[in-house]
Structure 1
Amino acid sequence: MNLRIATEEDVSQLARLLEILFSQEEEFTPDAALQEAGLRAIIADPRIGEILLAEEDGRIIGMVSLLYTVSTALGAKVALLEDMIVDPSRRDEGIGSKLLDHALRISRERGCARITLLTDASNVDAHRFYERFGFAKSTMIPMRLALR
């Protein structure tokens, strides 16, 4: 298995994984055109973020996105971890753990002071997974306003 940063050539395979992810999340609906546009925007500008992927024999089997911003509270660059997904046929092989380890290492290398992520409130397995890596529930709650 190879871990690397995604390129434009990976977009269609990454969109396939996002379709799986957004089909199982409560708040999102898959839309290939929108997902491909988002992937291309991230890939085109490393200041926005990076998409890390796991591949084997030319097939992408997992991905995670790191999006970058600045925290005024910390006075430093921080990351948002999004779109963590492993192909369902490859789960329970340690791929997600390797991807997350890689994302944590990359975030540290990029000078990030914190990583924030969101999971569905009902996804207890995801909570346990992230807690094993040191993530903790925050007293802050997410709120959203759709602008389009």
Structure 2
Amino acid sequence: MLGPSVRLATVDDADTVGGLLRDFNDEFETPGPTAEEFATRFRSLLGLDDVLVLLADTDERLDSTSGPVGFALITLRPTPYYDGPLAQLEELYVRPVLRDRGIGTLILTDALRRVRERGAGEMHINVDEVDVDTRRFYERHGFVNIEPGADYRMLFYLREL
């Protein structure tokens, strides 16, 4: 393998994806399920047609270990605004030591290609306002938080149930 590549995860990757998501949450001090609990949930999620998990694999020239170094979780849902689904980028993570090497861009580009192939009309991403680097990353890739023709930001609201 020459550098990073992106592939669609399978149920066999559930442990890997669960570990990457736990690493992501640990980095940002976000409480939540253990890696094992995430893996159990991914075993179910990875079998669904409306859930895509992409894994970025790399060789030893980029990291001390080969294998998955990043992932994206995308969900698709019906919407009356398009003939196809609406895509939601739930998570995108690259191990910190490998950031700024184009791996996130590679994952995002592949995610956009795959959801377009499935007929998605748009992709949504939620980003914390204080996460300036992440906001810049998505803006560099054409994402906006102001709808065309509007002069106010879109906001995301949450309520735990």
Question: Do they superpose with TM above 0.5?
Answer: yes
Q: How much has 1:25 moved relative to structure 2?
A: 3.9
Query: Deviation string for 1:114-136 (max 9, x for gaps)?
Result: 00011122100000000011100
Check conservation: 2:84, 2:118, Cα contact below 8 A. Answer: no
Report the AA paired with residue 6 of structure 1.
A
Q: Which has the higher helix share?
A: 1
Q: How much has 1:142 moved relative to structure 2?
A: 2.0
User: TM-score under structure 2 normalisation?
Assistant: 0.81
Fraction of identical pairs, as percent? 31
Tell me whether 1:72 sits opposite 2:80 in the alignment.
Answer: yes
1:103-114 equivalence runs, <5 A: 103-114=111-122
User: TM-score under structure 1 normalisation?
Assistant: 0.87
Check conservation: 2:72, 2:107, Cα contact below 8 A. Answer: yes
Aligned residues: 146
1:1-148 equivalence runs, <5 A: 1-25=4-28, 28-46=31-49, 48-57=50-59, 59-138=67-146, 139-147=153-161
RMSD: 1.9
Distance in 1 between residues matched to 2:79 and 2:31, nearest whole Å: 26
Distance in 1 between residues matched to 2:123 and 2:100, nearest whole Å: 24
Distance in 2 between residues matched to 1:126 and 1:6, nearest whole Å: 24
